[in-house]
Amino acid sequence: DQQVKQNSPSLSVQEGRISILNCDYTNSMFDYFLWYKKYPAEGPTFLISISSIKDKNEDGRFTVFLNKSAKHLSLHIVPSQPGDSAVYFCAATSNTGNQFYFGTGTSLTVIP
């Protein structure tokens, strides 16, 4: 069973607008969440993370929101830029183990 789910395989957004990528998880033991960005033919790169003790973390144009009661997190990109076009993976882990569980990814296209 997929413990981390990204239900939107793709998303298209106009340049300058907001991109919202969503992620759901099922394991209540997860206490740390991450977002990765992946360009074709490259490895995923770390983007931003959030601990379960917070509900928001911001880094420049990127903000991650965590709703623990709904087991849901989202990544907001404002304003979106063409260079943001990539596949975004969300991931989760817990301090009881050192496994990272990934979603299936959302392909973001920012249209100039």
Partner 1 sequence: DAGITQSPRHKVTETGTPVTLRCHQTENHRYMYWYRQDPGHGLRLIHYSYGVKDTDKGEVSDGYSVSRSKTEDFLLTLESATSSQTSVYFCAISDQGYTIYFGEGSWLTVV
Is residue 66 near partner 1 by the rule CB under 8 A?
Answer: no
The reply to whether 53 sits near partner 1 by the rule CB under 8 A is: no
Cβ–Cβ under 8 Å, residues 92 and 99: no
Tell me how far apart the alpha carbons of residues 40 and 20 are, in angstroms, rounded to a whole number.
Answer: 21
Amino acid residing at 47 = L
Minimum CB–partner distance for residue 17 and partner 1 (Å): 26
Determine if 77 is a binding residue for partner 1 (CB under 8 A).
no
- Shortest approach of partner 1 to residue 12 CB, angstroms? 19
Instruction: Indicate if the alpha-carbon torsion angle 91, 39, 104, 88 is positive or negative.
Output: positive
Judged by the rule CB under 8 A, the positions of this chain that interact with partner 1 are: 6, 32, 34, 36, 41-46, 49, 89, 91, 93, 95, 98-105
